Structure 1
Amino acid sequence: MKDRQLKYFCAIVDAGSTALAASRLFVAPTAISTQINLLEKELGGVLFDRSKRPMSLTPLGMFFYPRAKELLAANQRLREEASSIAAGKRGWISVAFVRSTIFSLLPTAMRAFRNALPEVQIDLLELLSEFQPAQLRSGRVDVGVVRLLGEEEYLDDLQQTVLIDDPFVAVFPAHHRMTHRESISLAELEGLPYISYPKNPQTHFSRRLTARIANAGVHMPVAQDAVEIHTALALVAADMGVTLVGASVATNNRSDIRFVRLADCGFTSQLVALTRTSDESAPVRTFVSALKDAAGVPAQQAAR
């Protein structure tokens, strides 16, 4: 059963005659008749009662007509959707992200991506930085947004696009005596209880950050190990200690804590987009571009 045969059959029913259907389709009436005969042979019964003028549908024809229309419409939708996916205008994309990016970078990028490719569905997966490369390699994730503290080696199969070089800020309860300052030195945090995050044996971020604080000659006893950054900020608000976060986290954040710039921290974190080197699909390119725009990355900046 060919698509053309269904098309000719429905055209005859809609037009009321083979001649009119042929005129509308710009084909010879004999071509339509030949295809209808082949279709009837395949079905094992006649679709039209040709003993009447104008000819009418047989019981088989009445059964077949609405289903043929549905099948033609479904085939057309399939062709359009497949073409859209091939052109990168339709489909889906899976994006992994670290939780600290939902304060500013990720929502802005998602809005821009939706405007550019409204028919592409975004599948979001919250995932620690260390777990994202494996998910990218397996195909479960198309774009990863990670926070790095120090150089990471992801090998040649993953492309890294630096989005933000994010300086650290100190986070205090809103009423803390330090909150009236525009900036402080790291040394001024000496002796204050520190809230570490994220609490996960497979992540390096917490250990590396506490090590950098210690290497700067500042002692901050760990008061709490928070599971993730939201918990750490809530503990700060509850006056359980202070913590350090990237400056980008301060955007659109809670009102019961304050962020104070560190004037001489000496180390920063980076927000980086990860993609498969071999993946040049339109949704991936568009999402990375949206991330770069949200981060204010110059258009000419190359990935590495």
Structure 2
Amino acid sequence: MDLRQLEYFVAVAEEAHFTKAAERVHITQSGVSAQIRQFEKELGTELFDRSSRMVRLTAAGAAALPHARQALAAAQAVRQAIDDVTGLVRGRLRLGMVTGCTVTPLFVALASFHRAFPRIEVSLSEANSDVLIEDVRAGHLDIALVGAAGGMPGDLGSVTLVSEGLVALVPEGHALAAKDEVTLRRLSAYPLICLPSGTGIRSVLDQACAAEGLRPNVALQATAPAAVADLAARGLGVAVLSTSMAADQPELTAVPIAGVDVPALLALVWRKEESIVLRALLPHCRRAFAL
């Protein structure tokens, strides 16, 4: 006997019909019948009662069925074990990262992962967070570093790395520079320099303004936080970034934005049905980010 015969036997038993079983295993009905006949000949007994329109198991067939299922499950376990090993030898990791975001611990995790599994091909692409999340959902990416407003999609696995508020960044001498905080209403009176739509920080700003019936005056957009800050330093508007991003811009004054209750998040997201390569990467990420 072979695994193919066991597969056909289980299919016929579960479908109670040769034609339906053939459709399930994607061969002709005559092919299934021939294999079952050969299987019965090797065993020396009939497995099915073919005297009625419905195919029924004989006593011998009923006794054989659970063992056939166990044999097929064991074969699948062998295949999975081999796939797991070869996946870590010849696999590929597809990583996405929000545009303009340099997060050193992520690179530390990738370097550690590469040392552990040097033959796995690693690819890295950048896009806005909304695009990255959809690419993870569609299976085009294994994992992505994204920004979001308030929470992560429930249909994806995730771990939050940063949760923080928004600040306005202005140069010395600006009217807001001496303020302890600025309201959204007052902020909306200035030309703003922001990250583009589809990024987590921009989503937080847009949602907060919409909740108060405000329309922010976005004068300029840039994909990199450093570019947003540089434009503000040249007097072209008020930059809106997160608290941690503002810490990298010591030449500007950071003024907390009041009334923004939804935090800006930075997180790793992946599909819940994790691949073997992804399962190998996640411990490196947790160590690098001290999670």
TM-score band, normalised by the shorter chain?
0.5 to 0.7
- Structure 1 residue 90: deviation in Å? 6.0
Deviation of the 1:194 alpha carbon: 1.4
Q: CA deviation at 1:144?
A: 1.3
- The equivalent of 1:238 in structure 2 is 234
Q: How many residues align?
A: 209
Is the aligned partner of 1:147 residue 2:142? no
- Contact 1:100–1:249 (Cα < 8 Å) also in 2: no
Task: Tell me how far apart the structure 1 counterparts of residues 261 and 255 of structure 2 sit (CA, whole Å).
Answer: 15
Does structure 2 conserve the Cα–Cα contact (< 8 Å) formed by 1:90 and 1:117?
Answer: no
User: Are 1:197 and 1:227, in contact at CA under 8 Å, matched by a contact in 2?
Assistant: yes
Which residue matches 2:86? 86
Distance 1:277 1:93 in 2: 16
State the TM-score, normalizing by the size of structure 2.
Answer: 0.56
1:192 pairs with 2:190: yes
Q: d(CA) in 2 for partners of 1:119 and 1:258? A: 46
CA distance in 1, matches of 2:139, 2:262: 33
Aligned twin of 1:206: 202
Give 1:256 deviation, angstroms.
4.4
Tell me which amino acid in the other structure corresponds to 2:283.
Answer: S
Structure with higher Rg: it is: 1
**Distance (whole Å) between structure 2 residues aligned to residue 174 and residue 83 of structure 1:** 60
| Residues 140 and 146 (structure 1), Cα distance of their counterparts in 2 relative to 1, 3 Å cut | same
How is 1:1-304 mapped onto 2 (pairs within 5 angstroms)? 86=86, 88=88, 91-151=91-151, 153=153, 155=155, 158-173=156-171, 176=174, 184-186=181-183, 189=187, 191-199=189-197, 206=202, 209-213=205-209, 215=211, 220-226=216-222, 229-250=225-246, 253=248, 256-262=251-257, 265-281=260-276, 283-297=277-291
1:143 CA displacement:
0.7
Cα distance in 2 between the residues matched to 1:93 and 1:195: 35
Contact 2:133 2:146 (C-alpha < 8 Å) held by counterparts: no
- Counterparts of 2:141 and 2:271, CA distance in 1: 9
Rounded to whole Å, the distance in 2 between the matches of 1:261 and 1:85 is 50
Report the residue type matching 2:101 in the other structure. Answer: T
Q: Distance in 2 between the 1:111 and 1:248 partners?
A: 24
- Which of 98-107 and 126-135 deviates more? 98-107
- How far apart in 1 are the matches of 2:212 and 2:228? 22
Residues 168 and 240, structure 2, Cα contact 8 Å, conserved in 1: yes
**RMSD between superposed Cα atoms in Å:** 3.8
Residue 122 of structure 2 aligns with an amino acid whose one-letter code is I
- Which residue is equivalent to 1:42? none
What do the CA deviations read for 1:185-213 (whole angstroms, capped 9, x no partner)? 446646332123315xx778636523403
Q: Deviations over 1:281-304 (max 9, x none)?
A: 1x423433343444443xxxxxxx
CA contact (8 A) 1:191 1:219 kept: no
Check the 8 A contact 1:109/1:293 in 2, yes or no.
Answer: yes
Q: Aligned partners of 1:210, 1:247: CA distance in 2, in Å?
A: 17
What amino acid does structure 2 have at the position aligned with 1:249?
M
Deviation at 1:126, TM superposition (A): 0.2
Please give the secondary structure, in 2, of the residue aligned with 1:88.
helix
Unaligned residue ranges in structure 1 (runs of 5+): 1-81, 298-304
Distance 1:171 1:218, change over 3 A: farther
How far off is 1:101 after superposition? 3.3
Secondary structure of 1:278's partner?
coil
Change (3 A) 1:138 1:99: same
C-alpha separation in 1, matches of 2:286 and 2:133:
20
More displaced stretch, 228-237 vs 120-129: 228-237
